[in-house]
Amino acid sequence: MYKKNKRKLNYMILIIMLLVISIGYAVLSTNLNIVGSGTINNPTWDIHWENVSVESGSVTAQTPTIDTNKTTVNYEVTLTIPGDYFEFTVDAVNAGTIDGMISVVSNKLNGTEITTLPNYIEYIVTYDDGVAIAPNHLLASGTSEKYKVHVGYKKDISATDIPSTAQTLNLTFSVTYVQSDTSVVPVPHPETVYTANVFDKNNDTLDDGTNTSVVWLGKSIPNGITTFQTKELALDSLKEASGGVDRPFFLKHTVSDNTVTESYVGFVVTDEMAQENAGMTAGTYYLKGKKTYELVEGSWQCMSEYDDGNGNCLDPEYDTNKATLLSAFGSSYCHDYSSYFYCGVSGLDAGANSYGYVYAYDDAWSCYVYYYGISACSS
């Protein structure tokens, strides 16, 4: 990152000078005075690196260092066997009084801008949450953004891809910040929101996504659906909709750039449930739904990346969801039906199917994420 010289900044300074008003009548007079002063501080430009931290699981290496100007991070690592990797984070800090934005992002290998990488190397620089770093992204005064650097020796490669001699790779990432202007955009960090949207099941037409009473993966959340910043507020909403009865489930969504990228059914094992059912563990748990089917010429078909070729549509999250259910309920209350895993006690049932459907329900209500990408709660 390079510091940018301060641009010439134009100021409009409004000064209210001493104002004297005289109103005279015979020997009477009144003087009204308005006196003011103001201070304009000198703007400062200061964007730099801080706070290097090596991620757990990385191979042993010298901790990356920041130079005295705080504009360059240096690191050196040796990757010996496939699967080795080195990963660290560092903060880009705007300690000045001027908002900055990215103008140029550059990734180079041995001095040449990267278009492709050798088959045996993984190398990526993103924000800490995986969002791509791009021009015009804002770095506001007094804020910071955490960058993540990952370099690795690929694990799943063929023998022919493994180099026969030691390779020295000089990897250089640079980002240039300038004073922000009208083209600046906020970094599209994912946002977590919660819903308990209730809808009439008869309106669930399984169309191409135009149904505005449900949340669709890959689309924005419809305006008519209320989102909440906490799960507690979503639970309260569902309680109100169900006439004051507590329902131990809700929906959680990850929204990035106004698009729903992940949807979960959240369910709560209460202390009372755990006390009444030996083996259960109190807490809040999440089952991740997956869109594995898409609408093709009017019919829902398994998406190619999830089709095993034997007539099965397989959700890559299925094993994780099964483990979550076992953690919450314990094995005594769970049943494995090959492609369907189900757990239940009085007051709460939850399950997952191998093709991406997850749900939780009680005697009257349910919340779910379907395998074609919708999520809702209903009675």
CB 213 within 8 Å of CB 226: no
Q: What one-character-per-residue DSSP string does 215-229 give?
A: EETTSPPPTTS--BS
- 170 and 300 in a common domain: no
- 217 and 92 in a common domain: no
Q: Which residues contact 357 (CB under 8 A, 6 or more apart)?
A: 289, 368, 369, 370, 371
Calculated CA dihedral for residues 224, 264, 124, 74, nearest 10 degrees: 100
- For 339, counting Cβ atoms within 10 Å of its Cβ (0-12 exposed, 13-18 middle, 19+ buried), the class is middle
Secondary element (H or E) of residue 289: strand 283-289
Residue 35: the pLDDT is 61
- 174 and 93 in a common domain: yes
Q: Which residues contact 284 (CB under 8 A, 6 or more apart)?
A: 231, 266, 267, 268, 269
- 196 and 174 in a common domain: no
Q: Is residue 14 part of a domain?
A: no
Secondary element (H or E) of residue 176: strand 171-179
Q: Is residue 28 part of a domain?
A: no
Phi then psi for 278, rounded to 5 degrees? -60, 130
User: What is the C-alpha to C-alpha distance for residues 115 and 290, in angstroms, rounded to an integer?
Assistant: 32
Q: Is residue 335 part of a domain?
A: yes
Q: Is residue 281 part of a domain?
A: yes
Secondary element (H or E) of residue 324: helix 318-329
Neighbours of 354 (CB within 10 A): 22
Q: Is residue 32 part of a domain?
A: no
CB 274 within 8 Å of CB 332: no
Phi then psi for 234, rounded to 5 degrees? -65, -40
- 287 and 157 in a common domain: no
* Chain-centre distance for alpha carbon 284: 20
Q: In what order do the strands lie in the sheet with 366-369?
A: 215-216, 374-378, 366-369, 358-361, 348-353, 340-345, 334-336
Q: Range of 286's domain?
A: 191-378
Q: Is residue 111 part of a domain?
A: yes
Domain edge (last residue) among 156, 179, 202: 179
- 277 and 364 in a common domain: yes
Calculated CA dihedral for residues 296, 302, 304, 310, nearest 10 degrees: -130
- 158 and 97 in a common domain: yes
- For 278, counting Cβ atoms within 10 Å of its Cβ (0-12 exposed, 13-18 middle, 19+ buried), the class is exposed
Domain count, the chain: 2
- 239 and 138 in a common domain: no
- 124 and 79 in a common domain: yes
Longest Cα–Cα distance of the chain, Å, equals 108
- 302 and 195 in a common domain: yes
* pLDDT one digit per residue (tens) for the chain, 379 residues: 433 333 333 222 222 333 333 333 344 444 455 565 555 556 888 888 999 999 888 888 878 888 888 888 888 888 888 888 989 899 999 998 989 999 888 888 888 888 888 888 888 999 999 999 999 999 999 999 999 988 888 887 777 777 777 777 888 888 889 899 999 999 999 999 999 977 644 444 444 445 667 899 999 988 878 899 999 999 999 999 888 999 999 999 999 888 999 999 999 999 999 999 999 999 999 999 999 999 888 888 999 999 988 888 999 999 999 999 999 999 999 999 989 999 999 999 999 999 999 999 999 999 999 999 999 998 8
Q: Is residue 239 part of a domain?
A: yes
User: What is the C-alpha to C-alpha distance for residues 1 and 46, in angstroms, rounded to an integer?
Assistant: 11
Q: Is the torsion defined by CA of 282, 350, 343, 272 positive or negative?
A: positive
Domain edge (last residue) among 146, 179, 212: 179
CB 345 within 8 Å of CB 335: no
Q: Is residue 26 part of a domain?
A: no
* DSSP secondary structure letter of residue 148: E
- 278 and 166 in a common domain: no
Phi then psi for 79, rounded to 5 degrees? -105, 120
Phi then psi for 359, rounded to 5 degrees? -160, 165
- 367 and 311 in a common domain: yes
Domain edge (last residue) among 132, 159, 179: 179
User: What is the C-alpha to C-alpha distance for residues 137 and 183, in angstroms, rounded to an integer?
Assistant: 9
